[in-house]
Structure 1
Amino acid sequence: MASGTRIQQHGLIVAYDFGTSYSGVAAKALSPDPLVLTDFPYQAAYSPYPKMPTLSLYQLPPGGSDPEGTGIIPSPQSQQLELLHEPEAAAIAMVRELKPYLSLKHGDTVLVIDLGGGTADITLHELVPNLDADGGGAPYHLKEVACRRAELAGSTFVDDRFEAWLEGRLGLEPDGFGAWKASSPRDRLKLMRAWEEQKRIFGEGWELRDCKVQLPDTLWKLLPAHTRRDLSSASASRAAAACTDDPPGWCDADYAVVGDDDEEESGDDDEPYVYIKADTMVEEMFEPVVDTIAWALRPVLAWDGGRADWVLASGGFSASPYVMQRLREEVACVLADKDIVTVPNPGAAVLKGAALFGDNLQLVAARISTLAYGVEMSCKYRRGMPGKPFISNITGARLVDHCFQQFVKRDHLVVVDETVEHTFSTTRQYQDSVTFNLFCTTDNSQRYTSQPGMRRLASLVLDLPPPHGPHERHLQASFRFGTAEIQVTAVDTESGKSVTTSLEFVAGV
């Protein structure tokens, strides 16, 4: 499908990126470049980031109580709705934007690290030529060549570790910090904004500097008197002397709080600060999260002996100087003299790529299945098989339920729109319906749906029209692998009756 066809058909492509902490919207009409929305209600504090807090974006318009009520799509099953994995969307946008500057060519492999608020998603793609491209089509497809990885290692986990560290050092009663967060949401947001400013600049120029975070006055006043006194006395004074804008060193303590013990209301400039050593920032806040990202990267980097022509980084967390420097160390083995490449606005890459994909579904050519997919069936019983055997009153064969018929293996390359089919038969005379239970697993060796790790995704019931007789009826089940969904169809070959459902092409780990 050439670029522009879907635009001409629908008039407008709208892309949504629902993130853990921030979400955004982009749109594409006849112009070649998507428009990323940056003007949201009540967004002033978050500008110029091209997204807004997810909870705000989830608010429905007046009168809207469900997705259909918003008027975006006719129904959740609409063919106007397409799903796309975040790192693939980021790859589409960044390859398009960077191709003129990086001399990207067909056959190049591109490693994409998408670092968001909640997850770190890693994919490896090969640029393959689009032989069907016409004057308006993209000259390339993205073909996934290694099993993608997704880990809970986004920036919010660094935030969580900061809050846990802070709670452990303020001397509050049990649940005191949690109670303060619940009762003072504005001040908690103020605290996290102050922390965000420090988190975003930590490691600039690979200089690990100690930092300070301003504490809201409402939190400071909750501290026990002895804690405020201790933290505001000698050790705090030494920390204050060391924690200048250009600190020559640090005192013995790994943190200190400096503030005025006066109970009177104070302005922002008078509010106390918590000072944090650079080593503490690294060891207790950043490294546990970065280690998880690095652990996810290594098996992808090991693909085909460790070859990646380019490494692209996207997502808001990729703006962290410390994180990027650590990732440079991890990918140095495959990049030689090249650097990780990003774009000026990495947080918008997923939005742009999703809008471009919505206009041209051919941009993704193939992907690696992260799970094994199949259906539950009855099979011939052999000694030692789990389950209770039964006799088919059609063939007289001794059968057992809960066998797993695999349609695609984990780590198998699946071409977009590829269809895999298998034929089955009824096991009972006068059978008037057949249920196909759809399962997935991370283990290619599993043969029974009762084994640990098997996950049932859906059930598909096919009613068999008359005549219902003593003979076998043959059924055909097919899995059609789309860009981000699997369409499963069951057909009664005798009558032609069929039933279809769609499943998300699940991103396994």
Structure 2
Amino acid sequence: MSVLFSSSVLFLPTMASNDQSKALLVAAFDFGTTYSGYAFSFRDDPNKIQTNQTWFAGGGAAMLVSLKTPTSVLLNPKGEFDKFGFEAEDKYATLAEDDEHHGWRLFRRFKMVLHNNEHLTKDVTVEDFSGKQMTAFPLFVMSIKYLREHLLKAVTTQKIGFEETDILYVLTVPAIWDDNAKRFMRDAAIEAGVDPNRLKLALEPECASIWCETLGTDVKGAVAFQGSQFMLVDLGGGTADISVHERKLDGTLREIHKASGGPWGGIYVDENYMKMLNKLFGEKALTDLRETEMNDYFDVTREFEHKKRSFDTDKTKQIIVRVSASLRDLAEKYSSKSLEEQIASLKVRENAITTRGKDKLKIGTAVVQSWFKRPIDLLIQHLKSLLAEPKITSVRTVILVGGFGESPYVQERIRNKLAGVRLIVPSDAGLVVLKGAVRFGHNPSIVSSRIMKYTYGTEVCEHFDGKKHQDGEKVCVDGKWLVPKCFNVFVRVNEEVRVDQQVSCESYPNGEISDTPVYRTTQKNPEFTTDPGCELLGDVELENSTDIPFEQQTIKTTLMFGDTELLVKQKNTTTGKEAYMTFECFK
């Protein structure tokens, strides 16, 4: 720990690295809970953004064409990467049909392990399709590596003589994510072969805001004029990610409320649908379908994905879903009750769920709406509370993006519940984040400031001051009265920080190794790092000179907040030695 002698903070400008500013192409990866994809554009025509056009499911009646592919990874029996996306699911299903899938492992929707995980480490595990655990980090690495290699093939077919070193990579992350989760993704990308000097993390709702100003008059007119304020809701498979922005005179965006959100995405509608199938056909029948008729299982889930996206109470009174004849056969094998009797036992309104032939269900809108109810109710409740806050009462435009945001029913619910608010849904809402991420990579300075979600600082010793310290807090060190474990605040929660600012303070070492813990808290004015709610993020270990008296050496500690990631750097300005923070959870 170091001894603080200067508690003032210095604001220093930062500059983009040469590797980033020289990029000839920007490529963005959107690593989603349910679907992932990439987009790119060349520096000489940055707004001509290209996406992959060839993701598609295996075929048949439930074929799903998409500009993204499922976030699914297939490992062979040796634990090696084999396939990603639709190809991973289809191959696993084909293997299962021939009873050759034993030892193969399929992982789906594993990104949610990073959401709100207070004890995140690189040892965190996820379950495969059969319920067996595996360390998650290699799956993220494999996924990013696959997307990167797929992208490189697409790019090299267009540009002769193009080098991989000409690319700046942008990886999108939810704005509500923790610092640890962002670092997890950065480390995974680097492990996947991405040069850390050519990698930027981008906040998903910010990317959406950036792309919206390029859209048609309706959207652009709401977000592109000076002083316009708007809320951006990125509603994906796993989470709702919400930011509030204002357009400044110079055209940049400033954040006017810290990012917020919650686990209110489309996968919770899927879960409710599967719970209904579970009640109708039985848990054992569904388990057997997953294990013995996997193609049918994926057809069921993919078809529902399409129905969920297009569900609209204004245009239909019911939806018809294909559930596969094999599922009904399995249900009859394990239960003496007919499907019609099982439907009656659900106690829904008469004719709310009826059969159509052997492999279809007709489901009334009231039942379908019930699957959407909880996640959308929680989202609307949160949006109402945000819009009622004094600092953003003038915000009357909400822009809805993300795959789940494409649902007409979701849009209808939000419009009906947010009185006096204009809801805008851009076309191709599921690709807005991805395209905005490419534009952000070409011009990161388009976001000028962000609101801090935490108070950040370091643990230091302060010289005892009878006006602010209690006698019981002081200790004697080398004849001096010091107060240990003081929270030296660099920036406070809800404070606006410019993207081009660094916050620094100076101290002197009290030993050969300066071990400086870095803390955060949601409290605005913490005094000690032992105060309730203070959390250790990591520490910086800096080697000092033993040839120079410690009091003649100066340590400059710099925290860089304004970018999408937290970076903590220390420099002994006397010796020139430097060190960076290591996150506690990744040691």
Match of 1:10, SS state, is coil
Deviation digits for residues 233-291 of structure 1 (CA, Å, limit 9, x no counterpart): 7978xx9xxxxxxxxxx9526534x37xxxxxxxxxx54233433222223x1010001
Match for residue 244 of structure 1? none
Structure 1 segment 72-83 matched on structure 2, within 5 A: 73-74=194-195, 78-83=196-201
Deviation at 1:319, TM superposition (A): 1.2
Name the aligned partner's letter for residue 10 of structure 1.
A
Name the aligned partner's letter for residue 379 of structure 2.
I
Q: 2:252 aligns with which of 133, 137, 141?
A: 141
The answer to whether 1:88 aligns with 2:174 is no
Structure 1 segment 292-441 matched on structure 2, within 5 A: 292-303=378-389, 304=391, 306-333=393-420, 335=421, 339-379=422-462, 382-383=469-470, 390-393=475-478, 395-401=479-485, 403-426=486-509, 428=510, 431-441=511-521
> Would you say the 8 A contact 1:26–1:34 is kept in 2?
no
Match of 2:425, SS state, is coil
Match for residue 338 of structure 2? 230
Report the Cα distance in structure 2 between the residues aligned to 1:170 and 1:404, rounded to whole angstroms.
58
> Would you say the 8 A contact 1:111–1:122 is kept in 2?
yes
> Would you say the 8 A contact 1:364–1:483 is kept in 2?
no
Deviation at 1:463, TM superposition (A): 0.5
Report the Cα distance in structure 2 between the residues aligned to 1:487 and 1:332, rounded to whole angstroms.
41
Report the Cα distance in structure 2 between the residues aligned to 1:380 and 1:69, rounded to whole angstroms.
44
Flag the 1:361–1:63 CA change in 2: closer, same or farther, 3 A: closer
Deviation at 1:225, TM superposition (A): 5.5
Match for residue 360 of structure 2? 273
Deviation at 1:121, TM superposition (A): 0.9
Deviation at 1:389, TM superposition (A): 6.1
Flag the 1:191–1:62 CA change in 2: closer, same or farther, 3 A: closer
The answer to whether 1:187 aligns with 2:307 is no
**Structure 2 residue ranges without an equivalent (≥5):** 1-13, 73-83, 86-142, 150-187
Name the aligned partner's letter for residue 27 of structure 1.
F
The answer to whether 1:116 aligns with 2:225 is no
Deviation at 1:479, TM superposition (A): 1.3
| Percent identity of equivalent pairs | 24
Report the Cα distance in structure 2 between the residues aligned to 1:106 and 1:18, rounded to whole angstroms.
32
The answer to whether 1:160 aligns with 2:271 is yes
Deviation digits for residues 162-214 of structure 1 (CA, Å, limit 9, x no counterpart): 112321343445xx534543454322211112222332232342x66233322
Deviation at 1:109, TM superposition (A): 0.6
Deviation at 1:417, TM superposition (A): 1.6
Report the Cα distance in structure 1 between the residues aligned to 2:381 and 2:527, rounded to whole angstroms.
30
Deviation digits for residues 460-487 of structure 1 (CA, Å, limit 9, x no counterpart): 1110023254746442212122431233
Match of 2:559, SS state, is strand
Match of 1:91, SS state, is helix
Report the Cα distance in structure 1 between the residues aligned to 2:148 and 2:432, rounded to whole angstroms.
32
Report the Cα distance in structure 2 between the residues aligned to 1:316 and 1:113, rounded to whole angstroms.
11
Match of 1:97, SS state, is coil
Name the aligned partner's letter for residue 443 of structure 1.
Q
Match for residue 287 of structure 1? 373
Name the aligned partner's letter for residue 578 of structure 2.
S
Deviation at 1:369, TM superposition (A): 1.1
**How many aligned positions are there?**
450
Name the aligned partner's letter for residue 49 of structure 2.
L
Match for residue 182 of structure 2? none
Match for residue 506 of structure 1? none
Match for residue 128 of structure 1? 248
> Would you say the 8 A contact 2:56–2:66 is kept in 1?
no
Deviation at 1:125, TM superposition (A): 0.6
Report the Cα distance in structure 2 between the residues aligned to 1:17 and 1:108, rounded to whole angstroms.
27
Report the Cα distance in structure 2 between the residues aligned to 1:325 and 1:211, rounded to whole angstroms.
17
Flag the 1:297–1:444 CA change in 2: closer, same or farther, 3 A: same
Flag the 1:117–1:497 CA change in 2: closer, same or farther, 3 A: same
Bigger Rg, which one: 1
Flag the 1:473–1:192 CA change in 2: closer, same or farther, 3 A: same
Deviation at 1:97, TM superposition (A): 1.7
Deviation at 1:405, TM superposition (A): 1.9
The answer to whether 1:467 aligns with 2:563 is no
Match for residue 14 of structure 1? 27
Match for residue 38 of structure 2? 25
> Would you say the 8 A contact 1:123–1:300 is kept in 2?
no
Superposition TM-score, scaled by structure 2 size: 0.69
Report the Cα distance in structure 2 between the residues aligned to 1:33 and 1:6, rounded to whole angstroms.
21
